[in-house]
Structure 1
C-alpha cells in the first residue's frame, strides 16, 4: 500500500494535549485520568475517568460530522432502543487544537469480536427493533438540522464494485486462495449496477467497530455516529449480512419488515465493502485481531 491513506491523521492528539483540552474547558473533570482508547478513520478516542469518552477529530473532513452529531444525536433519545453515544460535553478548538470535540457518557461493553453464531443470533430482534425505529426518525427534522443526503453515493453499485476490485487486488496476499476466489466470484456475478434511491435517516457506518455487546454477546450499544446521513436503508442493513449468521436473517426481517431484493443486494455489498476498508487499515496498523474479524465478517456476508 502507498504511504498516504484515507485514514491517515492530519492532527495527532497526544495524551497531554487531550488532558489539557478537556480539563481547561471542563474543570469539573480535572481530577480524572485521561487515557487513549484508540482511533478510527476520523477521530481519536479518550477515556476520561471511568464515566466519559471524548472524541477528537483526526482530519478536517470530520469536523462537520462531529458538529452534526452534537446537533442531531440529542434528538434521537425517544427513537432508539439501544444505548447510544449522546454528547453532553461540547468542546471548542483553540490554538492548541483546531477542531471542536465532544464528550459522551461511557457505554459499557466490548466490540463484537470473535463471537459465536449462537451469540450473534441473540441480537437479531434487538438490531431489527433498533433499526426500524432509527429509520423512522423524521427525514424532515434531519434535513432541517443540515444532515447530508447520501454523500457517498452508495446506490451506485457499479462504482463501488470497481473500487472493491482494486482494493481486493491490493490486499490479495492477506486472503487464502479459497477466500480470494469466493470474493472474486461474488464480484464477477454481481450484475446490478445501481439501485433505486430510498431516503431514511441512517447511522451510516454500522459495523463491528461501532457496536458494543454485553457479557453474553448481545448488542448493547451503538457508537460513532459521524456518518449520519439520509439515504438508502441498505447502508445500515448491511449488519444483517456482516453481523448476523444466515439462519438469523429471517428473524431480523420478520421484526424489521420485509425489504425488496435490490435492498438486500446493496446491503450485502456494503457488508463486504466496509470490512474490506477496516481490513486495509488494520493491515496498515499491523492489527491481526481486526484483520481476522474483518475477514470473518466478509465470509459471513458471502454466506447464504
Structure 2
C-alpha cells in the first residue's frame, strides 16, 4: 500500500530490530538498554543507554541524506558554536532492514515547546553565532562531499503560496476564523514570486523539533541534519521568525550580520510554511502538544 501522507513511513523500525542491528555491528553497546525516542518524517530515533542516540531511516529518500550527514558533519566542528549531532557509529542494513543508520552522542535537553518569549530571547545571540558560523563553511568543500543544492526548492515563493493555500483549505477547521484570515492576508500581500539565489551551507530544516533547550529555555543542541544542503540563508534564518519573538530579532541580526529585505521576506515565509507542515502531521497523528506549538510558531512568525 502506498503512503497517503508525505510523512508516512515506508518501513518501520522496532526496538527489537534496532537492538539486533546495533548489537551485531557494535558489540560494545550490546548490553545497553534501547528505547524508542520518537520519529520525524525521515527517521526513527532510539536512545541507547545514557550516552548515545541512533537514527534509522524510515523512508527511501532519507538514505542518501543520512550518508551525506556521515561525511560532512564531522567536518563542521570548527564552524559550529552549539553542540550538534556528530556521528560516531556508522551502521549498515541487515536482518531485512534496507538502510544505513548512524549513532551520535546523546545531547541533553528537550524540544522548545511552550517556553516563554523571554526564554526564547535569551538564545538570540547564541543562535546568531551558530548560523553565522555554519553559513561561513566553504561551499566548495561542501560540494566536494556531495552536498546537494536546495533540493526542496524553498526559494520558489509562488510555489510555497500555492501549496499553503491548498493545505489551508484542507485543515481550515483546525484554525479559528481569525487565524485563517491572518494567514490568508499574509499570503495575499506577498508579491515576489522567487528570490535571487544565494549559496551557503544550510542545516536545511531548522525548526523547534530539531532544536534542544535546557530547563531555562536556553539552546543546548541542534539535531537532525538530514536536510543539509547548499542554498539560500533564508532557509535557516526562518528560525528568527518562528522561534524568536519580534523584540529579539534585532539582537539576532546585530550578531549575525546585515541581511537584505528579500532574505527576510523569504525567511518569514518559510517560518510559516514549515510549522504548517508540522501542524498537519500533528493533527493527523492527534498530537495536540505538537499541534499547539506549531500553531504558536506560525503566529509568532506573522507578528511584527
What's the TM-score once normalised by structure 1's chain length?
A: 0.99
**Contact (CA 8 Å) 2:3, 2:9: kept in 1 or not?**
no
Matches of 1:226 and 1:208, distance apart in 2: 15
- 1:71-98 deviations in whole A, cap 9, x for unaligned? 0000001110000000000001124200
Alignment of 1:1-304 (within 5 A): 4-304=4-304
C-alpha displacement at 1:154, in angstroms? 1.4
- 1:45-79 deviations in whole A, cap 9, x for unaligned? 00001110000000000000000000000000111
Matches of 1:51 and 1:170, distance apart in 2: 42
Matches of 1:173 and 1:51, distance apart in 2: 43
Matches of 1:29 and 1:284, distance apart in 2: 35
What's the TM-score once normalised by structure 2's chain length?
A: 0.99
Which range moves more in the overlay, 146-155 or 227-236?
Answer: 146-155
Matches of 2:47 and 2:116, distance apart in 1: 28
C-alpha displacement at 1:258, in angstroms? 1.4
How many residues are treated as equivalent by the alignment?
303
**Aligned structure 1 segments of 4 or more residues deviating by more than 3 angstroms:** none
| Structure 2 residue ranges without an equivalent (≥5) | none
C-alpha displacement at 1:3, in angstroms? 6.9
- 1:178-233 deviations in whole A, cap 9, x for unaligned? 11110011111111111000000000000000000012101110000000000000
RMSD: 0.9
Which range moves more in the overlay, 86-95 or 57-66?
Answer: 86-95
Matches of 1:10 and 1:95, distance apart in 2: 16
Matches of 2:150 and 2:105, distance apart in 1: 29
Matches of 2:275 and 2:90, distance apart in 1: 31
SS for the counterpart of 2:96 is coil
